[in-house]
A = this chain, B = another copy of it.
Amino acid sequence: MAVAELCIFHLGTGSPSVGEYLKPVIKVIEESGLKYQLCPMGTVVEGSIDEILELVKKCHEAILKAGAKRVVISLRIDDRTDKELTIEGKVKL
């Protein structure tokens, strides 16, 4: 399992607020069945690389469908082969 953080912003809507456009994105994440945690600067998910990249694709589709004219997606994946990474494990030092 890898752990990844996904942060999505959209530009060009006339409002500096992003919540309305992120609701369909959160819905996509919920429906993915992947373990996730909403954090202040992004959503953290736990899954295989394939699952994470598939989720990014669906989130991209969802925010464009919501009307975004321009979208900036930041993804940071942390993966290791010697032991499993988990959302819980990553907050313990």
Contacts and interface: CB of A to CB of B under 8 A. Distances in A.
Contacts of A15: 11-12
Contact of A44 (B41, B49, B57): B41
A18 B18 CA distance: 17
Interface string A14-50: 1111110011001000000000011111101000011
How many identical subunits does the complex contain? 4
A56 B60 CA distance: 15
Contacts of A79: 60, 64, 70-73
Interface of A: 3-5, 7, 9-19, 22-23, 26, 37-42, 44, 49-50, 53, 56-57, 60, 64, 68-82, 87, 90-93
